Amino acid sequence: MKYITLLKILGVGILGGAIPLVIYLSISNPYLKLSEQVIDGNRLAKNQLVNSNNPSGPADFTAAAESTINSVVHVTTKVIQTTFQRDPFQEFFYGPGAGGRELKQYGAGAGSGVIISSEGYIVTNNHVIAEASEIEVTLNDNSKYIAKIVGADPSTDIAVLKIEGEKPFVPIVLGNSDDLKIGEWVLAVGNPFNLTSTVTAGIVSAKARNINILNGQQNKDIVPIESFIQTDAAVNPGNSGGALVNTKGELIGINTAIASQTGSYAGYSFAIPINLVQKVMRDIIDYGVVQRGFLGIEISDVTQEMKTSKNLLDLKGVYVEKVLENGSAAGAGIKQGDVILKIGSKEVNSPSELQEEIGKRKPGDKIIITLRNNKGEETTKEMILKSKSGETGILSKEEISKNSALGATFVNLSDEEKKSLKITYGVKVETITSGKLKSIGLTAGTIITKINNEPINNVEELTTKLNSSNRGILLEIMTESGMKDYRGFGL
């Protein structure tokens, strides 16, 4: 009997030790991506979601507001725009850059953000921090932290920040924006006009709304993805980057824009769906940039005029205007004049709906597309998505770091580009987000030919010099039209 009792005690002890071990291994599994380990709001809040069903009376928002308000932060930024004033007299005697000096202009901005990890990761809008030289985050308890930018994606207007602190932060629970219904109650939580921790309520007015707000802000190399949730919850300047939550307290969108002629709330606001945000923020945490898959087509709405002129069966789907060479769609046999009806099991009836579905995916993902060809026959096509450069593989963080520095990514100049510009060296800015290079006026397409009067021959040479320099930098740059100029920082 003693042996049986001893075995029982031993068994309970082993079981008791095994449970925390299993939990520890599930959290610290080295094979999990970083984002899978740190985005932990749903894990930490299991069984704590609000029950919003109230058939006997009006919806009650108090529990949802209470469960989310500590996860929404106030983001303030200091903006320093730097220009470099040249001194032609000094340059004549001592060479390019001699006698030049920096001129600085100062500004400030404010917005909101949402804590998505107990380790201090925060998601916000790219436009909130795009020009920032310094970012401060204030929590609901008024504690303040300096934030660093993990990465940003101008195509979706999403950015990820990171704050460091001793206490665990309160992450929000992530919902599923695909389940959102028109007419459903939602809450907007943010900091309008610097009025911290403000909660407003409204309903979902529409989904997959494209308002072309990102088109004017992007350069030609960036494809904006707009598929907004439209609500009538009051959102004002300062709400950008804040939370749109359902009545269970789950994050279902990031508030981004308003429809207004005055700059203040005028009836409608727009939020980026969390299912699209999740892909973007996880890529940024894992790789520093978004790894996006492309179909390789140009598309348009199916209008009544198009239905009549092209003898289409109905108004459903998205019309394929053009198929790009060597793209995923071309390889799968999709042709101009086809009408795409579904991506996987999801119906798509507008370009914004299609963009949202593809925007959730990465190069190498296999998808099935249901389409109707120009003969009216419905068929399915299987394809593997490619990156913008035509690759189906994911770049490692190490590969990405070789091509990026100070908030920008770079590509080598082609022989044709060098010949047209009459140069033999130089590297082109491919994309640029918040960082030192943007603050001195560089844009996508700018060509960097020299650093501190030393010619730059390839991308790795440039990024090594930029990332390792601990002194002032003078850049000789050239526009795509061939105009030469100089920019300096840290002088």
CB-based contacts of 104, cutoff 8 Å, min separation 6: 80, 81, 82
**DSSP track, 379-397:** EEEEEE-B-TTS--SPPPH
Which amino acid does the sequence have at 278?
A: Q
The catalytically annotated residue of 240, 387, 404, 439 is 240
Strand duo 132-138 + 121-125: pairing: unpaired
What is the three-class DSSP state of 171? coil
127 carries an active-site annotation:
yes
CB-based contacts of 32, cutoff 8 Å, min separation 6: none
Strand duo 158-162 + 339-343: pairing: unpaired
> ∠ CA 427-428-433 to the nearest 5 degrees?
125
Which amino acid does the sequence have at 453?
A: N
> ∠ CA 203-204-206 to the nearest 5 degrees?
145
The catalytically annotated residue of 74, 112, 117, 127 is 127
The catalytically annotated residue of 67, 71, 74, 157 is 157
Backbone angles phi, psi at 110, to 5 degrees: -155, 155
Integer Cα distance of 171 and 166 in angstroms? 15
240 carries an active-site annotation:
yes
Integer Cα distance of 75 and 241 in angstroms? 9
What is the three-class DSSP state of 91? helix
- Is the distance from CB of 200 to CB of 258 less than 8 angstroms? no
Integer Cα distance of 225 and 157 in angstroms? 9
- List active site positions: 127, 157, 240
